[in-house]
């Protein structure tokens, strides 16, 4: 069903989001422009990788057929096989796809999706299993101990997304054992004035809590209850204000008003 839908849409579904001139510019800036004309050009390989992401259940040759269906003017595929497609992806490299993403990622929500004039964003992390290769194992690592690793290598991904449209605005990829909180520090530049940022308790950090409001960001984060146990004031909706223990330590014991925390829970 999904594959037949792409066949009806053709390659235009990809070129509308990533125009060929943009793809060519990113390829040149990344230093991946081919020195000789290839059947599997850098531009085509970009669209091939994008199609793979849309339809991960399809194998290389099926994705190739789908992309070819979208552009009948492409040259014949004589001699193209899975190995040549793999080599084309290796020539392209991952930096091209990263920079293309950064060039097109933007908020997609409408004005009526705003919450009291604020664009609502969410910061969160997840683990993704990647193929079990020596390179991936070195780059990302596995769960378990060094002597007894378990399962597939896992990449830790932390992303900031717009809640109304689910559009991912930026993401950072790290290893299994890397901290979500530390990885997510590199995403601060994409969170600015006129936004309300939601985050889970694993991403809490006192320095960032003070830094982001200086960029014009409003914050609504979960926090572990043990970090703010002493109730300072109970609000009308049942939530309460409490001084954060880390902030108190920094201020030499002076009471600082911490984040609003839900009463009975975290």
Give me the pLDDT at residue 78, please. 63
User: Please, which pLDDT band fits residue 264 given cuts at 50, 70 and 90?
Assistant: very low
What's the alpha-carbon Rg for the chain, to the nearest Å? 23
pLDDT tens digit sequence for 79-117: 688 899 999 999 999 999 999 999 999 999 998 889 999
pLDDT, tens digit, 9 for 90 and up, residues 39-73: 788 998 999 999 888 887 888 888 887 777 655 55
Q: What percent of the chain has pLDDT over 90?
A: 34
The end-to-end CA distance of the chain, in Å, is: 43
Average pLDDT, the chain: 81
Mean pLDDT lowest among 8-17, 127-136, 176-185, 199-208: 8-17
Give SS3 for 120: strand
Q: Taking 90 as the threshold, does the pLDDT of residue 76 lie above it?
A: no
* pLDDT of 225 strictly over 80: no
The secondary element (H helix, E strand) that includes residue 122 is strand 119-129
Ranges 28-37, 71-80, 208-217: which has the least confidence: 71-80
Cα separation, 161 vs 124, in Å, equals 8
pLDDT exceeds 90 at position 12: no
Rounded to whole angstroms, how far apart are CA atoms 119 and 218?
10
> Quick one: DSSP state of residue 228?
S
The answer to whether 121 and 106 have CB atoms below 8 angstroms apart is: no
Question: What integer pLDDT is reported at residue 5 of this predicted model?
Answer: 58
């Amino acid at each position: 069903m999904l594959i037949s839908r792409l066949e009806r849409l053709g390659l235009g579904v990809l070129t509308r989001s990533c125009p060929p001139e943009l793809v060519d510019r990113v390829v040149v800036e990344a230093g991946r422009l081919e020195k000789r004309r290839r059947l599997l050009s850098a531009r085509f390989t970009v669209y091939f990788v994008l199609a793979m992401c849309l339809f991960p259940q399809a194998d290389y040759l099926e994705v190739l057929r789908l992309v070819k269906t979208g552009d009948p003017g492409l040259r014949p595929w004589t001699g193209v096989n899975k190995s040549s497609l793999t080599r084309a992806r290796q020539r392209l490299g991952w930096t091209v796809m990263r920079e293309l993403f950064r060039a097109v990622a933007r908020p997609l929500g409408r004005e009526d999706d705003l919450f009291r004039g604020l664009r609502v964003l969410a910061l969160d992390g997840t683990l993704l299993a990647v193929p079990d290769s020596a390179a991936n194992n070195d780059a990302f690592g596995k769960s378990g101990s060094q002597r007894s690793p378990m399962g597939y290598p896992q990449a830790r991904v932390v992303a900031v997304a717009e809640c109304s449209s689910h559009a991912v605005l930026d993401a950072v990829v790290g290893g299994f054992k890397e901290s979500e909180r530390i990885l997510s520090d590199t995403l601060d530049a994409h969170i600015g004035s006129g936004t309300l940022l939601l985050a889970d308790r694993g991403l809490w950090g006192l320095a960032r809590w003070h830094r982001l409001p200086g960029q014009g960001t409003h914050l609504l984060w979960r926090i572990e209850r043990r970090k703010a146990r002493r109730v300072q004031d109970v609000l009308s909706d049942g939530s309460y204000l409490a001084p954060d223990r880390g902030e108190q330590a920094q201020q030499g014991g002076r009471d600082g008003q911490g984040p609003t925390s839900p009463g009975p829970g975290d």
